[in-house]
Structures are given as C-alpha cells and as structure tokens.
Amino acid sequence: MRSKRFGYFEEEELGKPYDITILKRLWPFVRPYKGVISGAILLVILISLIDLSIPYITKTAIDRYIVPSGRSDESKGSRVRHLTVRRSDITDTIVNKYKALFTIQGDSAVIRFDDLRKIEKKDIIVLRRKDIAGLGIAAMLFIAVIFISFGFNFLQVMIMEYTAQKVMHDLRLQLFSHIQGLAVSFFTHNSVGRLVTRVTNDVQNMNEIFSSMIVFIFKDLLLIIGVTVVILGINTELAFVSFAVIPFIFCASLFFAGRNREVFRTLRLKIAEITSRFSETISGIKILQLFRQEQNNYCDFEVLNHEYYVAGIQHVHILAAFLRFTGFLDSFAVALVIFYGGGKVLSGTISIGELVAFIAYMKMFFSPIQDIAQRYNLMQNAMASAERILLILDSSEKLPVASHFKTQSNSISELSEIELDKVLFSYLPDEPVLKEVSFKISAGDTVAIVGPTGSGKTSLINLIIRFCDPVAGQVRINGNDIKELDISAVRAKMALVTQDPFLFSGTIRENIFQGNGSFSPEEIEHILELSNCKGFIDRLAKGADTELSEGGASISSGERQLISIARAFARNPELIILDEATSYIDSETEAGIQDALANLMKNRTSLIVAHRLSTARNADTIMVLHKGQIIESGTHEELMRLKGFYFRLNLLQR
C-alpha cells in the first residue's frame, strides 16, 4: 500500500494501448525521412542476402574441396568415400608410387579416403592441389563477403542513427513548443519532474523505435523467411523436424511480451515520480532543512526508488527467462538436426557440407527470433514513453484562439481602455473565485486593487493578461473581447512585475533585454538608472554581464525586483501590472523600489495589486476586493471617509 507523501505526484494510469495506433501517430515525424529510410531498407535486403550466402559458402567449401563426394560404392553394407583425381604427368608419378592404393578408371584415378593417410603429406598436397586452391578461393570469398557485410552494416547503422537523431530532434522541438503554448492551468496539475522526463528521457527512449524497429525487424523477418526457404531447399524433411519448436517460441513470446509491457509502463511511471520528487527536493531544500524533514523525505524517496528497483528486477527476470527459454529451444533444435541429419549423412541422403550448413542456418534462424524478442522488450519501453509523450501532445489545455481576429495585431496602436464586464471565474466547478466583477481602466489611469489574501486579486491579473479565460462575462481591450484579439500583440503592450520575480539562468543583461540588441549604450544606461539597477550592477565585477544562477538565487530579493523593473522598462509597455511588488521587501529597500516603480509608472496605465495599503494610497482609483466581489471603490480619501472595509484594513496595518 502506497504511503501518504507530501507533495507526491502520481501520473494517471493508461488504458490498454495499441502499438499500431501509436506507430501511426508517430509516422508524421518519420515521413520527412522516408527516402533515407528506404535506402536503409535496401541496404538491409542486401545485408540479409549476404548473411544467407555465408553458410552456403561453407557448404560449398566442405562438399567440393574438403570432403568431396567423388565416387562411392557399397561394400559389405557400409559406404566408402573415394577421392577421384584426373591423371596427368604429375599425378601418374604418385599413382605409380602407390599403385596398390589406386584404381584406374580411364582418365581418372580413384583412392579411398581412408587410404590417404598412407600417402606422404607432400604427395597429398599434389593430389589435392585443385581442392586447396578452391578452398583458398572460398576463404577469400568468405572474407570478402564479411567485409562487404561490415561496410553495408556500418552504412546502414549510420543512416538510421542519423535519421533517429533527426526525428527525436523534431519530436523534442514539437513537444517543447506544445508545452510552451499550453494554458497556465495545465502546469498546476503537471509537475516539473514529469514534464522534464517527457522532453528528455522519454524522447531519448524513442530512439529504439526510429533507429532499430523500422529496419532491424524488417531484417530479422527477412532472415527468418530466407532461412526457411533455404533449409526447405536443402532437405524438407529435416526442416520440418527443426520447425517443431516454433509453436513453443510463439507461445513464449506472447506470454513474456504481455507481462513485460506492464513492467515497462511501471518503470516509466516510477522514473517520472522519482524525477518529480528530486525536483521538489531541490526546490524546497531550505524548507526541508529548516523543518528537519530530511529523514522523512529520504524515506519517501527510498520507497519510490525501491518500487523502481522492483519493477526493474521484474523486467530482468522476464527477459532472462525468455532468453534462456529460447536459448534452450535453439540448442534443442540443433540437437534434433544433428541427430536426424547425422543419420541422413550416414545414409548418404545429404552431404556433410549440407549438414554443417543446415546447422548454421538453424543458428541463424533462432538468432533473429531472439533479436526480435530483445528488441520487442526495448520497444515496450519505447512504446511506454511514446504513450506518455502523445498524452502530452494530446493535451487540449490551450486557450481558444478565434478563427479570425477582429482586430489585427498591427492595428492595436494603443491600449485605450481595459474593461471587465460581469466576469465570473473559478478554478474548480461550483467554487467561484470572482463573482460578477465589472470595472474599467482608461489609458493613463493608476488603479489599485486591495483586499485580503484569497479575495481574487491575482486572478484578476491572470484574466487581463489572459493566462486564463472567465467562465462567464467578458474581458475587453479597446471594446473588443480579448478572446478575439491576437493575445501576443496585446501582451506586447503589457509588463508584469510580481512579488517574487523569476529570473532565468544567464547574465543580468540577458534577463533585462531578453536578446533584444536594438538598445544603444545610452538607452541601456538610462534604463538602468531609471530602474535603480545601476548602483548594485556597477558594484559587480562583470557588471551587467554577471552570470545569475537559476532563479537569480545568487542575488538578493530586492535586486531581483529591481532587475524585473528594468526588464519592464526595456519592454516600454503601455500597461504596467504590479502584483504586490514590494510585499517581500524590507522598508529600506522598498524606498529604492518605490522610486523605480514611480519612474516606470510615469505616463503609463498602471494596475497595482497591493497588500501593503501604502502602495495603493496615491492611486487614482482604489478597488476593494473581498470574497471575489468589488465591495468598495474610490480614492484613498473617499474610502477612508466611508469607514468601511478599506478603513478597517488601514487600521489593521497601522
């Protein structure tokens, strides 16, 4: 039974998949490279034909040059093999030397193989010089075939690995692009660890599909068919004897494959959970150490790690059992061939070369079967990853885009008015966060939104930026429903400064200007001065080119806030949104930030979400949000005279 874990993330269980369906879904990624794959398949056909020729070369070398059949007679119930040599001046000398051992038959001389041991070695070499020469040719042909096979295999592997890397490159880009385009709500129920696993480990696991399956399974099937045809041609009866083990292999493959599929699913699920747990540990290391939860967190991780280990051991057991079972059947089939085929050799039905070739073909027959089995196991891993990747790609958690924009992006010259009209919003059904919220912000206005925690202030911002859409009502920009506008063009005119700004790994300059190289040195200097960043940046050894760690952890929270203000300056927005931008800052640092914010808000439309009411005091309009509704609205003085909710909030903060 699973222990209850803090921050535990569990993936949904998948239903029964269909591999062919998954492969069809992956085909669009492979289609651009079908020409290259066709070339690789052609190479595989040539490689298979070359591999099939190797045992036949061995058979020819044995039957024609090592133990040629020659002429044989029945003598006293047993077969006696003979060597026949063509008579010449050289051979006649040897024949005359061992006259008692030879029988003259016209232009040929015949000697029993058993009698060859009575002849001197040098004379045997002379008698069998043509066989030795033929054996040398067969050996060179064998070596040439091996080299050609090596070259073709190398070329084929390079082609398919190149193709696999290109396909994974395209898949990873599409997955990354798709994730970037998903709504913010998607990331609230999908952990970082899970998504990282999808883009990295799972895409890498797909390599087996793209580099091996398409070609190697084709090669293995071609070899099986080719071997079947050849051994049926050698001896049909012996072939059917060796095929007696095939039903057992087929049944074993189905049995082990079914069990392995579930194990691979578990492995993929557990590795995602491990990644998620590790990601949470790194992100929350301060809290873990502060509250002395290292041991509890270790125990939770130990449980996950053990579950992954158990699944891995199950996979090893299944694979080992299957390989040993097929190995036993392979040896059993060869034993049948030796027993039955040996009798055929003794009876003269087949030659020794044919028996040797038959055994080699049987080994070749079982090799692709085991190869397919192993690749099938790897394929299950890849298919499990493919299922998870397609699950992400199938996610429809995107904000709807209008089929046509009422207002083209280049026609949004300025943000003249922002309006919320009877907006209803909720994250969960029947649990509204905002209820019938309506207000307008005109160009140049400074509007502050205040209220207790959980009243819906940040949700309002998310609606205006369109990180999410309202359940009912409309958010309008310049009188147009924001859903009908090009949101990229709208967001280009906005800048958000949050209470805990996020900085990317890279230099301070890259975080502020985000790759925009159009700023002159004078403009850069001006932006840094207005945002009050120049002072602390000048104190750094590398200035604006100082590298920041992930999230900007190497600098103070106040400095991170100033950089985020400079980032907003560089964007030159028309609407500034401040989400409790000074709530985490001490009073001394707040003064510098307030000055920078004043510079930023000058001559711009501003929307301020304020936790400290002092931040909202100078706003043109203050809206008091409570339990998802605007209950008061006016200037600071007007609201204080009402002595309502805003008045009480002020008293609490004194």
Closest CA relative to residue 379, chosen from 494, 651, 371: 371
Q: What is the pLDDT of residue 3?
A: 42
- Residue 497 neighbours by CB under 8 Å, 6+ apart: 561, 564, 565, 568, 576, 577, 578, 579, 581, 597, 600
Q: What is the pLDDT of residue 498?
A: 84
Residue recorded with tokens 């080699």: 360
Question: Torsion-angle region of residue 415: left (phi > 0), alpha (psi -120 to 50) or beta?
Answer: beta
Contact 13, 268 (CB under 8 A): no
Tokens of residue 402, six digits: 């209008």
Query: What Å distances lie between residue 329 and 157, 222, 319, CA to CA?
Result: 30, 21, 15
Q: What is the pLDDT of residue 586?
A: 60
Contact 493, 412 (CB under 8 A): yes
Contact 366, 326 (CB under 8 A): yes
Q: What is the pLDDT of residue 228?
A: 86
Question: Torsion-angle region of residue 628: left (phi > 0), alpha (psi -120 to 50) or beta?
Answer: left
- Report how far residue 615's alpha carbon sits from residue 626's, in angstroms, rounded to the nearest whole number: 18
Q: How many residues does the chain have?
A: 654
Q: What is the pLDDT of residue 18?
A: 47
pLDDT for 469-501, tens place per residue? 898 999 999 888 988 888 888 888 898 888 778
Show the low-confidence residues of the chain (pLDDT under 70). 1-19, 68-81, 89-90, 213-216, 258, 373-374, 376-377, 402-412, 581-589, 654
Tokens of residue 349, six digits: 């039905």
- Residue 354 neighbours by CB under 8 Å, 6+ apart: 59, 63, 234, 235
Dihedral angle at the C-alpha atoms of 276, 279, 284, 285, nearest 10 degrees?
Answer: 130
Contact 610, 581 (CB under 8 A): no
Contact 143, 103 (CB under 8 A): no
Q: What is the pLDDT of residue 5?
A: 40
Closest CA relative to residue 384, chosen from 169, 203, 184: 203
Catalogue all structural domains in the chain, each as residue range(s) with its CATH number: 19-64+132-393 (1.20.1560.10), 70-117 (no CATH), 400-493+605-654 (3.40.50.300), 494-572 (3.40.50.300)
The whole-angstrom distance between residue 73's C-alpha and the CA centroid of its chain comes to 68
Contact 72, 82 (CB under 8 A): yes
Q: How many CB atoms lie within 10 A of CB 16?
A: 5
Contact 303, 241 (CB under 8 A): no
Helical pair 129-180 and 352-393, crossing angle rounded to 10 deg = 10
- Report how far residue 481's alpha carbon sits from residue 473's, in angstroms, rounded to the nearest whole number: 10
The whole-angstrom distance between residue 190's C-alpha and the CA centroid of its chain comes to 17
Q: What is the pLDDT of residue 585?
A: 60
116, amino acid identity: L
Contact 204, 318 (CB under 8 A): no
Q: Quick one: three-class SS letters along 308-348?
A: HHHHHHHHHHHHHHHHHHHHHHHHHHHHHHHHHHHHHHHCC
Q: How many CB atoms lie within 10 A of CB 200?
A: 12
Contact 40, 48 (CB under 8 A): no
Q: Can you tell me whether residue 111 is helix, strand or coil?
A: strand
Q: Quick one: three-class SS letters along 553-608?
A: CCCCHHHHHHHHHHHHHHHCCCEEEEECCCCCCCHHHHHHHHHHHHHHHCCCEEEE
151, amino acid identity: G
Helix or strand (DSSP H, E) at 431: strand 431-442
pTM for the predicted model, two decimal places: 0.69
Query: What Å distances lie between residue 356 and 139, 149, 186, 334, CA to CA?
Result: 16, 21, 63, 11
Contact 374, 208 (CB under 8 A): no
48, amino acid identity: S
